[in-house]
Structure 1
Amino acid sequence: MNSLDAVNFQSLNMVRDELVATIEDSARNLEIFVNDGEDSDSLQNCINGIRQIVGILRLIQFRGACTLAEELLLTATDISPGNSGPAFEKTIEVISNTFFVLTRYLEYIQQVERKVPVLLIPQINELRKLRSEPAVSECFFFQLDLSATPDLPAIEPLATNGEPFTTVIRRLRHMYQIGLLGLVREKQVKNSLALMRRAMIRIQRVSAPRPLTQLWWYSNLLLDAMMTENMALLESRKLLFGRIDRVLRQVVSSGESALEATPPRALVKELIYLIALSGKKTDEMSRVLSAYGINDFAYNDKDLGSERDALNGPSAHTVMSLAKVLQTELTQTKKVLEAAAQSESQRIDDLDEFIGNLHKIAEILSIVGLVSPSNILKDEIKRIQLWKLQEDGPSSADLTDVANTLLYLDSAVSALEHAKLSDEKLAEANRVAQQEIIASSELSEAGKIVIEECEAGLSLTKRALSSFADSNYDTGHIRNIAKTLNTVRGGMIMLKKEKAAALLARCVDFVDTVLMDQDPPVALKEMLETFADAIVSIEYYLDSASNSLKMDESVLKLAEESLDALGLAIEGEA
């Protein structure tokens, strides 16, 4: 198992200058061709340069960079003189960006003395997409022997109470799909993952101990890792979970016989890779990874995220130079603004020049990675342009607002320099900027606090229900959850979420009349599972809250269906 190139930096050092010169020369030839679409010689020189790049990378055995260069060569040879249109422009854009990524990759790996070819996969797939070739998976450079597999864990079968297998699988697949939809849209990510995992666990219980259970088991482990380790939601990972849904569709279509199939090897390999990449350590995950000979992994998802940002961003030298330019431009702009504020007319002598300088600052901010501050300044420029229409010039309040924006930008650039351009600090500067953009009223902030408290109450309820089930239904563990749920219900009433409040009232009734009953029903275990589905659905509903406190009311349908199954429909809607 190995996903890293063999270290061969001495060879790279020997050829780096020639390699970078060839990349830059090929990029210039491409630019000449674009400016004069009939110049076939420039295009051919560009292609010849790429061939030379491929040869050098093969010679020094840089597998990841070589694969990217090979894809670049295939894409460039598809270009013909005289082409035009959106597709042609997109091809040129991707090829130009590939030259940049290739140069940055070589610079970056020399800085850190570590080669991780997986960083190049997004750009490789961009090139393949142009040629309508299938995308390569994240584990493309990952070698794994799938001949040895761990034994399936012992798991209690799911009691279906006579419900047909197809009906159970279809319902659980529906639960998985709701979570998958939220994941694809990147909304309610944590609870979307939790919903998908809950479905996988129950499907695993229905399937065990048949061969396809292995796929649900690994999916469950990965979903758990993605939640707890905050793994990045890359497009390839969304597609992976979509492919798992297609396997579920086959099970729904073919019935129980489909569970005897061996899990697709490509899916297993990708799941194992991502489980190892997560960096999470549990006994179950360690047992799985050990079975495949993975005892240690050279990096984790967080490391890759930082390195991916560094690769796609400008070089350290470029950022440092631009940061110094920014400081100079901001200082001059603040002096102009200060002079205007101290004058009687409060006018800026050359407003067009002032606006032009602000545009320049906004562009530089974007280049160095401070996208949010750049967007803030662009919005401010739109307001400043209206000063041309004001006969009396800008008011003191207008000047103060611009001054505050410039002070904020100055602090963002200072943070950039103070951080010495580390990825973590760049990200921090952007997060601060994003927080500054969001203007929330006091009422909105109070509403968010209410939602947080309600979510905490539901989390406490889930833990209590789990302890209740584990203790053979000792009611001491759930003595206070009716009070907790009533508190959550009060929060929903405060936020004017009547439907959610009504569902929570029925949840309280279930606790009081069923769970706290000294003579519980025979089917209590499955009833408890269904009740937990309702609680999870309400939690998912809370997590859907936007900044304006709007929530996805359709999610409550899941909670209502669960309570219907328990005989606890909302009055008037049964």
Structure 2
Amino acid sequence: MSHEINSATLDVVHKEVENTLQAVEQSLSRFLDDRDSGEDLQNCIDQLNQLRGIFVVVELQGAETLAAEAVQLATEVPVGAADDKNELLSKLSDSVFVLKRYTEFLQTEKIDFPELLLDTINQLRLQRKKSVFLESHFHEFDSTKQIDLASVIALDKFSPLGDFSHHAHRYRHMFQTGLLSILRSNDTTVALKLIDRSLEGAARLSVGYAMAPVYAYARELVSSLEHNQTEFTDERKRLFMQIEKLVRLMVSNGEDSRDESPDQELMREIAFLHAVVDQNNLSAKQVLDQIDLAVRYTEQERVDAKSRLMGPGSQVIDSLSQAVSEDLMTIKEKLDLFERGSSIDEEDINLVSEVLTRLSSVLIVLNLPRLSADCTDKAAIVQSWIGAEESIVENDLLLVADSIIGVEAALAKYKESGSDIDHVLVEKDPDNHFLKEANMMVVEESQSSLVLTKRSITAYVESAGDKLHLANIGQALDSARGGMLLLGRERVASVIAASEKCIQQELLDSQSLPDEKLLETLADALSSVEYYIDSLGKSSSLNDDLLKLSEDSLKSIGYDVVA
């Protein structure tokens, strides 16, 4: 998986990024409507630069690179741009759209996956006639070290082959035929078999020379591609074009080509793709270890992340969720009436069936085929009730109700994370929507109890010790402590218990007002635990230092927290 990001930092800048992107879209849209508007074009460039600066600060290398490329491309757009600049403007618009989608992806997934932006970045670079970035671009490695394939690749299975010129021409043609099929996005199965055969031959022709390990290792990559489903991105197609150049040199340079010095960049990219496609491949790891390069993701992770990135956007999800919520409410109301034994007519049954069918179509749009199929099945069950309105089987009602609850939970989770949740079953999902809602209610109630406690103590002090203000503190803190125990937060519950003991002895049982030091320290302890509880409802990464601060504060006034 690509590296996680600091969600707290991202939350701080998210609104600013969102507003700046909206400003970029508006400026670019106005310029497209009036290409003589130099002010709108300059505003667009300035706003893109502002975005780039934000991405630099939060260390989002892919987003920063894309924003920088968009700035460079925008500066090449002249005021009054003619139709010959349409493609350039189209690429610029695409880059803004992808940036917007990527910021949504960051907000939901909480991981930075710069490789997802590589294709868009390279399209902008090609538009400016610059060299493209390779797939390993966002990975660090030691450029002072050299790859030595001969120490990793065994050649004993390759028997030498004579008649170099004859076979070189044949293998080159074989490789080109396979490559053309890949470039045209045709069936890659046969294409890879042709390339595999070509590279085997090239290795046999080069046994005993410097290039033999390169051909042999490239063949290992092709073998992995044959056995693992792999998308041929533009970057990967370019890699195979680079390998084809080596085979072509066998024809143009003859036998001398066998002793060429292997290209370090090419060997690195072959090993990199090999590791992405087959993370368990030993030779790929050995090669990359030579230059201290560690691959951060697998092919499956990249494909899944790309699917989420290019899936429906948050605005689409919001619109669909609203429409689906209304349909779900309609079904639940009708099912409730059916269950109560109210009179059921054919019109009601048809309505429920139609809504389930409509839900099935929406779920297909959201790429949730299993849930969609389930709704289709339940629509058929409901349709079978026609003519048997008086004898609807209770189990059928429960099956339909379960499906509705499942769809509701799945959509809530989809909206929250954008993840593939087509498999969600409410009763088996440990992270389901309803459980989260219940947890949030507990968190909010516990927060309210702590806020009430702090206000009560403030009122007690301001009234010169009127203990009536403390009457509800015990109940409030017991509620908060019970809530934390319910959530499995025993350490938080212990802090609250120690705070309650302090309040009981120093405020309720005492005949005089506590000193300022104790009150301030108690306030610090309560505030720290309040902040911690607040984070329970907002982030999966919790700051245990807040609890440590509460514990230390209570200890300093003589109240140790007992675990």
- Whether these two folds match at TM > 0.5 is yes
**1:478-522 Cα deviation digits (max 9, x unpaired):** xxxxxxxxxxxxxxxxxxxxxxxxxxxxxxxxxxxxxxxxxxxxx
Name the CA shift for 1:417/1:239 in 2 (closer, same or farther; >3 Å).
farther
1:136 and 2:133 matched: yes
CA contact (8 A) 1:323 1:417 kept: no
**Equivalent residue in structure 2 for 1:98, among 82, 95, 98:** 95
| Identical pairs, percent | 25
1:108 and 2:105 matched: yes
1:261 and 2:266 matched: no
Task: Tell me how far 1:90 sits from its aligned partner.
Answer: 2.6
The farther-off stretch of 184-193 and 64-73 is: 184-193
Alignment of 1:407-446 (within 5 A): 418=410, 421=414, 424=420
**Equivalent residue in structure 1 for 2:13, among 12, 15, 27:** 15
| Alpha-carbon separation, structure 2, partners of 1:182 and 1:175 | 11
2:197 maps to which residue?
Answer: 198
2:156 maps to which residue?
Answer: 155
Paired amino acid for 2:64? C
| Alpha-carbon separation, structure 2, partners of 1:173 and 1:164 | 14
1:38 maps to which residue?
Answer: 36
| Alpha-carbon separation, structure 1, partners of 2:421 and 2:217 | 35
Name the CA shift for 1:331/1:18 in 2 (closer, same or farther; >3 Å).
closer
Aligned length: 363
TM-score, with structure 2 as normaliser: 0.56
1:47 and 2:45 matched: yes
CA contact (8 A) 2:55 2:61 kept: yes
Alignment of 1:38-437 (within 5 A): 38-85=36-83, 87-145=84-142, 146-150=145-149, 151=151, 152-160=153-161, 163-293=162-292, 297-316=295-314, 318-322=316-320, 324-325=322-323, 418=410, 421=414, 424=420
| Alpha-carbon separation, structure 2, partners of 1:216 and 1:42 | 53
| Alpha-carbon separation, structure 2, partners of 1:4 and 1:35 | 39
Name the CA shift for 1:109/1:331 in 2 (closer, same or farther; >3 Å).
closer
**1:407-444 Cα deviation digits (max 9, x unpaired):** xxxx9xx98985754665789xxxxxxxxxxxxxxxxx
CA contact (8 A) 1:221 1:285 kept: no
SS of residue paired to 2:210 = coil
SS of residue paired to 1:298 = coil
| Alpha-carbon separation, structure 2, partners of 1:237 and 1:200 | 17
SS of residue paired to 1:11 = helix
Task: Tell me how far 1:49 sits from its aligned partner.
Answer: 0.9
CA contact (8 A) 1:229 1:280 kept: no
Name the CA shift for 1:260/1:20 in 2 (closer, same or farther; >3 Å).
same
| Alpha-carbon separation, structure 1, partners of 2:38 and 2:70 | 18
Paired amino acid for 2:37? D
Task: Tell me how far 1:304 sits from its aligned partner.
Answer: 0.6
Task: Tell me how far 1:185 sits from its aligned partner.
Answer: 2.3
**1:19-49 Cα deviation digits (max 9, x unpaired):** 2211211211111111222222111111111
CA contact (8 A) 1:210 1:259 kept: yes
Task: Tell me how far 1:200 sits from its aligned partner.
Answer: 1.1
| Alpha-carbon separation, structure 2, partners of 1:285 and 1:44 | 47
Paired amino acid for 2:100? T
Alignment of 1:526-545 (within 5 A): none
SS of residue paired to 2:253 = helix
Paired amino acid for 2:126? K
CA contact (8 A) 1:323 1:368 kept: no
CA contact (8 A) 2:410 2:422 kept: no
| Alpha-carbon separation, structure 2, partners of 1:234 and 1:330 | 40
Q: Please say which structure displays the higher CA radius of gyration.
A: 2
Task: Tell me how far 1:245 sits from its aligned partner.
Answer: 0.9
2:534 maps to which residue?
Answer: none
| Alpha-carbon separation, structure 2, partners of 1:328 and 1:178 | 55
Paired amino acid for 2:105? Y
CA contact (8 A) 2:192 2:226 kept: yes
Name the CA shift for 1:424/1:194 in 2 (closer, same or farther; >3 Å).
farther
| Alpha-carbon separation, structure 2, partners of 1:426 and 1:43 | 43
Name the CA shift for 1:192/1:62 in 2 (closer, same or farther; >3 Å).
same
| Alpha-carbon separation, structure 2, partners of 1:18 and 1:252 | 57
Task: Tell me how far 1:7 sits from its aligned partner.
Answer: 3.9
Alignment of 1:486-505 (within 5 A): none
Task: Tell me how far 1:186 sits from its aligned partner.
Answer: 2.5
**1:234-288 Cα deviation digits (max 9, x unpaired):** 1221221112111111121111211111122221121111011113424444443
Paired amino acid for 2:218? S
Gaps of 5+ in 2: 331-345, 347-358, 370-402, 424-563
| Alpha-carbon separation, structure 1, partners of 2:168 and 2:421 | 46
Task: Tell me how far 1:178 sits from its aligned partner.
Answer: 2.1
Task: Tell me how far 1:73 sits from its aligned partner.
Answer: 0.4
Task: Tell me how far 1:93 sits from its aligned partner.
Answer: 2.6
| Alpha-carbon separation, structure 2, partners of 1:330 and 1:238 | 46
Gaps of 5+ in 1: 333-341, 343-360, 372-410, 428-574
Name the CA shift for 1:103/1:426 in 2 (closer, same or farther; >3 Å).
farther
Name the CA shift for 1:327/1:244 in 2 (closer, same or farther; >3 Å).
same
| Alpha-carbon separation, structure 1, partners of 2:30 and 2:230 | 42
TM-score, with structure 1 as normaliser: 0.55
Provide the aligned C-alpha RMSD in A.
4.0
